[in-house]
């Protein structure tokens, strides 16, 4: 007699979706949203695994680092539900495969959430509510609250269901390497997103001045001694407008030299350093404190 297949019910998936609204309720600097992710999955884990040790192992594998836009976590939850369901029914899906899918998806999706929700949907709804509220209409804030939560909840539920159904299709072709290809593709896309975010958000600026550069004759304005006539003043102003320097020396800064080499170079190197330290199992808390101390020290020394 074959063992009966364990399947997640719609009620189980609704419970996961509801719990996902508290994804950042226990956000932490070391592993970020991992506790919220495990909390959201618990109803499914409870359904799929009857043995206490299996439940503990399932929760433990979802305690690894996880961070993405809180609303875009929904499709990742859906795919994870499908993978956990297949694993509970005997499919050869190990911890590495599940974690690989999560990591591969969370990077690209994180870059989508901010422009869609924070920079588009919310400002539009806010403007709509404010246009009513400014005239004393109480429907302004009520409309904003209702529309925002209807859109938010609908997105969470339907994208989680989409991920769940897509995840079920992925697990049907494990032997064909589809899961590996999807994870690899998502990781590559995540690298592109990471490059954009590094240039935008990692800002390292030096304020250290280097010895000034002596300009060649003709590259700066040669001010005459004594009084300046109106025509001479007009000539000087024309030279300045033409790009001549007011002084025979050109300011020379460390930041200017770095920017002329590769703009954003130090931010990129700092990112690589953090990645290296993470690979060496250095705690993110230690890294955050270290960056804070080094940054304050260099600022006090007038280097940054």
Please state, in angstroms and rounded to a whole number, the distance separating the CA atoms of residues 234 and 242.
12
CA angle 65, 71, 77 (to 5 degrees): 55
Please state, in angstroms and rounded to a whole number, the distance separating the CA atoms of residues 289 and 124.
38
The closest of 248, 247, 249, 266 to 207, measured between CA atoms, is 266
Please state, in angstroms and rounded to a whole number, the distance separating the CA atoms of residues 282 and 274.
9
pLDDT digits 0-9 by tens, 244-299: 666 666 666 777 777 777 777 888 888 888 888 888 888 888 888 998 998 899 88
Q: Which of 7-11, 174-178, 205-209 has the lowest mean pLDDT?
A: 174-178
Confidence of residue 180 (pLDDT cuts 50, 70, 90): low
**Taking the chain, what is the end-to-end CA distance rounded to the nearest angstrom?**
71
Confidence of residue 143 (pLDDT cuts 50, 70, 90): very high
Mean pLDDT, to the nearest integer, of 186-209? 70
Please state, in angstroms and rounded to a whole number, the distance separating the CA atoms of residues 48 and 84.
8
pLDDT of res. 5 = 85
Q: Which of 18-32, 40-54, 70-84, 253-267 has the lowest mean pLDDT?
A: 253-267
Please state, in angstroms and rounded to a whole number, the distance separating the CA atoms of residues 6 and 43.
13
CA distances from 95 to 18, 61, 98 (A): 25, 7, 5
CA distances from 303 to 204, 229, 294 (A): 11, 43, 11
pLDDT digits 0-9 by tens, 65-109: 899 989 989 999 999 999 999 898 888 888 888 888 888 788 777
The closest of 157, 163, 159, 166 to 18, measured between CA atoms, is 157
Residue 197 has pLDDT above 90, yes or no: no
Instruction: Identify the residue with better confidence: 260 or 303.
Output: 303
The winner for highest mean pLDDT among 158-162, 214-218, 237-241 is 158-162
The closest of 101, 76, 82 to 20, measured between CA atoms, is 76
Helix, strand, or coil here: 203? coil
pLDDT of res. 184 = 62
Answer positive or negative: Cα dihedral of 24, 27, 33, 39: negative
Q: Tell me what the pLDDT averaged over the chain comes to.
A: 81
pLDDT of res. 151 = 92
Tokens in use for 220? 């700066």
Tokens 């001010």 — which residue?
Answer: 223
pLDDT of res. 279 = 86
Please state, in angstroms and rounded to a whole number, the distance separating the CA atoms of residues 224 and 228.
7
Confidence of residue 233 (pLDDT cuts 50, 70, 90): low
Do residues 61 and 102 lie in contact, with contact meaning Cβ atoms separated by under 8 Å?
no
């Amino acid at each position: 007699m074959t063992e009966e297949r364990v399947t997640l019910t719609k009620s189980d998936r609704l419970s996961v979706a509801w719990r996902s609204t508290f994804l950042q309720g226990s956000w932490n600097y070391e592993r970020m949203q991992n506790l919220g992710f495990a909390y959201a999955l618990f109803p499914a884990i409870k359904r799929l695994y009857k043995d206490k040790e299996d439940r503990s192992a399932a929760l433990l594998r979802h305690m690894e680092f996880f961070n993405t836009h809180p609303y875009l976590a929904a499709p990742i939850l859906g795919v994870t539900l499908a993978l956990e369901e297949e694993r509970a029914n005997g499919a050869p899906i190990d911890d590495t495969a599940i974690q690989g899918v999560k990591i591969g998806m969370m990077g690209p999706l994180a870059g989508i959430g901010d422009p869609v929700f924070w920079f588009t949907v919310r400002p539009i709804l806010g403007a709509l509510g404010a246009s009513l509220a400014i005239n004393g209409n109480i429907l302004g804030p009520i409309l904003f609250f209702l529309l925002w939560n209807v859109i938010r909840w609908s997105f969470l539920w339907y994208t989680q269901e989409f991920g769940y159904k897509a995840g079920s299709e992925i697990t049907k072709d494990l032997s064909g390497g589809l899961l590996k290809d999807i994870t690899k593709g998502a990781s590559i896309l995540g690298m592109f997103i990471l490059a954009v975010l590094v240039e935008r958000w990692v800002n390292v600026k030096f304020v250290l001045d280097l010895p000034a550069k002596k300009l060649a004759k003709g590259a700066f304005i040669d001010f005459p001694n004594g009084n300046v006539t109106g025509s001479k003043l007009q000539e000087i102003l024309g030279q300045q407008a033409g790009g001549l320097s007011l002084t025979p020396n050109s300011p020379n800064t460390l930041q200017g030299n770095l920017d002329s080499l590769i703009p954003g170079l130090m931010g990129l190197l700092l990112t690589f350093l953090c990645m290296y330290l993470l690979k060496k199992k250095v705690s993110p808390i230690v890294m955050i404190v270290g960056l804070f101390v080094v940054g304050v020290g260099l600022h006090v020394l007038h280097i940054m």
